[in-house]
Structure formats: C-alpha cells, structure tokens
Amino acid sequence: MTDLARLSAIQLLDGYRRKKFSPTDVIEVVIAALRRIQPTLNVLVTDMFASARDGALAASEAWARGEPDGPLCGVPVTVKDLVYLAGVRAAAGSPVLKDFVPPVDAAAVERLKRAGAVITGKTTTCEFGYKLTADSPISGTTRNPWDRSRTSGGSSGGAAAALAAGAGPLAIGTDAVGSIRVPASFCGVFGLKPTFGLVPRSPGFSPPSWGSLAHTGPMARSVADAALLLGVIAGHDARDGASLPVTAQRYAAPVGRLEGLRIAFSPDWGWAAVDPAVREAVKQAVDRLADLGAEVMARDPGLPADILETVLKPIGYTEQATAAGMTREEAQFELSERDFGAVVARGRRYSGVDYMTATHRRAALRESFRKLFTEVDLLVTPSVAVAAFGAGTLGVDTVDGKPVDRHLGWSPFSWPINLAGLPAASVPCGFGPGGLPIGFQIVAPWLGEATILRAAAAYEAVHPWATRWPA
C-alpha cells in the first residue's frame, strides 16, 4: 500500500480529486509517521493532532461535496515555532517564552488556513533562531534522519527533518542567516528563501530578532510542492512594514530545458573554505545545468572576505540583542544556552556607529549583486560548505583544513544572500561520505523566484531526489 505520508502535496490533491483516499485517511498516516520519528529525531515542539483531525474531517467533507476549500484543502503542513498560531504555544526555542501563547495568527498561517491546509504541529527551532541548528533548551536536540548522530541543521531543522523522514509534504520555515537553506541541504529536501518582504512576517513572527534579515518561506520534498506553497503564502500585507506591494500569484515549476538562461557559478566566493566532497557534488550539478542548455560562466559578485565580521555580525547580532532585551530581564539569560548569551552580549557591545557603518557596507554588497545580475540570470553556489556535522554542536571550527568561525563561518554562502534580500533556494544534488545529503544554492535577482523554480525543476527532472529515503 502507498505510504500516504510520503506523497507530495500535488499527489495528495490528485488523490482527493480522484477519490482514491481522503484527508482523514492521510492525516492518520501522517500523525502516525510523526509519532514514529519523534522519539529519535525530535522534530516537534508542540503537536496539533487533535485540531489536525478536525481540519482533515472538514476537508474530507468538502472534497466529498466536490467543493474543496482552497488550493491546499486537506494537505498536511508543519509550521516552525517562530511563527505564531493563535492559541498555540510559541516558545521560539526560549525558556523565557516557554508558556507564551499568542493571540494572533501569523500572516502566513492565516493564508494556510484560508487555503484549507491542515496544520499538524509546530516544529523545533533553536532559541530565537540565533544559530544554524535546531537545538534548544526547550526542545533538546533535533537529529538528521540520514544519520541520527548528525544535526538536522537549522534553525528550521525540525521542519526539514520531518520532510526528509516522510512525515508530510509541506513545511513553513524561516531564514535569517540560512535557516531554511542549511537544514534543507543537510536533510536532502528543497527549501526556498523568498525575496525579503514577499512573504509577510507581521503580525505573528516571534521575536523580531534578525529584523532586517529574516524571511518566511516554503520547504518541501519537491520543487512543485514548494511552488504551490509559495503561491499561498506570498503577497502584500499592510500590517507588515517590510511587505512588498505585490499581488498574490501562482508559482509554477515547469520542467524543460534551460536554453537562454545565463548562470554565474562561484564555488567559493573566491575565498571561502569548502569541503572537497561538497565542491565536487556542486560542480557536477552545475554540469547538469549546462547539459540542460544553460550558459554557465565563472563569475561572482566580488564579496570581500571580511563581511562576516564587518557587516553581518554588527547588524545581525545587534538586532538579536535588541529582540532578546525586549522579552527578558538580565537574570533570565541564565536559562539560555551559553552560545546564545555570547551572541547577545556581543550584540550589545556594538555601537550605533558600528551598526550604521555595517549598513552602508551592506548597501555596497547589494550593489555588487545588482551589477552581477545585469549580466546573468542566476547565481549558483554550494548551499553550505560542509555536510551535516555532529548533533548537539554549534558548528565546526575547520573546513578543508582551514579555520572558520564556529557559528557562521561554515555557511558562507547563505547569510550574504540575506544581507542582500535576494531570493535563494537549496536544491539537493547528491550525497557525500557517509551518505549525507549535499545541496547547491540557486540565487536570483529580487523577485526572481520564478526563474529559481524553473532551473530547480529542470534539474530535479534529470536528477530526482524525492524517491530516495533515509533507512
């Protein structure tokens, strides 16, 4: 019998339409899958199984009437715990918020509900999304389904691990320094960080940490599913001051050749340390894109090697420290991880001059990307410089024998894209030593999501990944 929890959203909707099975059938299998993986992978911080059953019943009745209520009617989806659901605890991985229950839905959640989606639970995150794993004092350690001794990545790690393990087709993640793309790469799924402001965050994004960097976006096992979900959650919302004045639209994942598409390929920005297995897997993926007709050229935006210290940290750490100070007293930091406290402490030491200097440098970085995209349509890089490392650790100290910043230095391809506000996706492209997934990143100009989806779908068609599952 087909495992309904492993079907794509597109397949589920087709099955509902053909009356092969119903949302009530599907939700029971998905709940069973989540219960099966929870003890070993730890993907949920709060389950919503009771309300999911109610939602699936209502969706089944709508399909039986031939009147499905929205484009995701009856499709299971998880929501990261940084994103509010009214009446459901939103701890954001923080002991300070362990009992916080928001009174409002996030804009993306409102749209999920209007689309008929069935929300199965809140997925794990690190505290306030401060690092690129999903471990926290609230939920413990989230593990990788391909190797449970390894991290899932983060901070949308629970979302990625649940998708990879076959516990439903769709997830909502957030990404401020790579928190959609890193776990997507580590877990072998597809994750898309939209253009900054395309998917509204307010109301209902907790907390306003990484305020000028954080995006909400779709995660899925297939490109078509991610396109479907993006079409539901994207679009203007006046309650969010950063929301772009764009109308909602449907996104497609057309399968075809890539003639006429100009792709810049940078394996390392010219300075970043990259694991040789990652470098080789991404090079092979780029060769596939060329085989599909794309014109590939060696090109990069010319980013300076010091931008982590001179741009990202003064902006990101200051915003993180400000958000933390809004929600807690000084003594409450004793309940937090030591590494989180260190980030906040450093953020508090930056001055206003430091922050604004970094902001000016950020503008120059954005201009570098703008110039690059006058010459090419897409930029391809590795998603992460390494495959998944040990669970329960902050990161790695060296990559290919070279020292890197343990917090963010092993992911040098993700956070520059947040600084620029550009759309980017992580696409699975193979497996490295130990059978750990590797991903490559596709970056587009602002509001270039359709071009990312086109290239990713073309690659997926000749290099399918969704049929391979963790043991």
Q: Which alpha helices (H) appear in 7-99, and where do they start and end?
A: 9-18, 23-41, 49-64
Catalytic residue among 179, 206, 222, 426: 179
Q: Select which of 22, 60, 80, 113 is catalytic.
A: 80
DSSP letters of 250-262?
------S--TT-E
- Distance (Å, rounded) from C-alpha 404 to C-alpha 305? 12
CA 434 distance to own-chain centroid: 24
Cα–Cα distance for residue pair 442/458, rounded to 1 Å: 13
Beta bridge partners of 119: 77
Counting Cβ atoms within 10 Å, is residue 279 exposed (0-12), middle (13-18) or buried (19+)?
middle
Q: Is 80 a catalytic residue?
A: yes
Strand-pairing partners, residue 218, are 172
Q: How many residues does the chain have?
A: 471
Dihedral angle computed from the Cα positions of residues 75, 81, 86 and 87, in that order, rounded to the nearest 10 degrees: 110
CA 326, 329, 330, 332: dihedral to nearest 10 degrees? -110
Q: Would residue 266 show up in a list of annotated catalytic residues for this protein?
A: no
Token pair belonging to 246: 């764009």
CA distance 201 to 179: 15
DSSP string, 356-423: HHHHHHHHHHHHHHHHHTTT-SEEEEES-SS---BTT-S--SEETTEE--TTTTT-TTTHHHHHHT--
Catalytic residue, candidates 22, 136, 152, 155: 155
Report the alpha-carbon distance of residue 199 to residue 189 in Å, rounded: 20
Is residue 185 annotated as part of the catalytic site, yes or no?
no
Find where tokens 């809140």 sit: 122
One-letter amino acid identity for 216? T
CA distance 52 to 59: 10
Active-site positions read 80, 155, 179
